[in-house]
Amino acid sequence: MLDNQGFDLWADGYDRAVGVSDEENTYPFAGYRDVLGTIFQTIMKKPGAVILDIGFGTGTLTAKLYECGCTVYGQDFSARMIELASEKMPGAHLYQGDFSRGLAHPLLRQRYDFIVATYSLHHLTDEQKVSFLHTLRNLLNPGGKVLIGDVAFEDRAKLEQCRDGAGDEWDPDEIYFVADELQTEFPSLVFHPVSFCAGVISLT
């Protein structure tokens, strides 16, 4: 697992590295643009939405939402990622912090129409995911949604199939979403598969 310094070092080449994997339709970023596009279109149905982006990276998705008039809050644990994102979104409310230890206190005082996490929450254990998702749901405005775009699978069999296909490229330090297992804790959870290794999870 990369720490904050590792992400600082990776920040300048992050978008390029992701793009190569997406274009070649390979694990782990196959379907990346479609994942972000699905989330973007969902949010655009509510003009002027208030957004919290967790682990926003260089702001690839959030900057588009910002340009379209959304109010943007965010947390990332890489100072360099925040620097790059701030250049794209000078009016956004961005905080540095490790979300595995919780959200920055100013973010807990806000309420959001959408809480977004793209390719970030796989750094949490399954138990941490459940606890964190409960916290996030409590920060939603009425009718709000948590939208998670990530390496994710409908069931454990599909995860294992992807792992076998990825071979040595598989990252054992990342803990991916398995939708049907999460649905035991969150019955209203909806999973929309986008590629063989990615999808969008929606939680109201």
Query: In order of start, what are the domains of the chain with their CATH numbers?
Result: 4-203 (3.40.50.150)
Q: Check whether 106 has a pLDDT greater than 60.
A: yes
Distance (Å) of CA 154 to CA 33, 52, 56: 19, 25, 24
Q: How confident is the model at residue 58 (pLDDT cuts 50, 70, 90)?
A: confident
Of the candidates 11, 6, 21, the residue with the CA atom closest to the CA atom of residue 166:
21
pLDDT at 11: 38
Distance in angstroms (rounded) separating the CA atoms of residues 27 and 97: 27
pTM: 0.89
pLDDT at 32: 87
Of the candidates 34, 39, 95, 94, the residue with the CA atom closest to the CA atom of residue 65:
39
Q: Is the separation of the CB atoms in 79 and 8 below 8 Å? A: yes
Distance in angstroms (rounded) separating the CA atoms of residues 12 and 172: 24
pLDDT at 81: 86
pLDDT digits (tens, 9 = 90+) for 140-162: 999 999 999 999 999 999 999 99
pLDDT digits (tens, 9 = 90+) for 7-19: 333 334 445 556 5
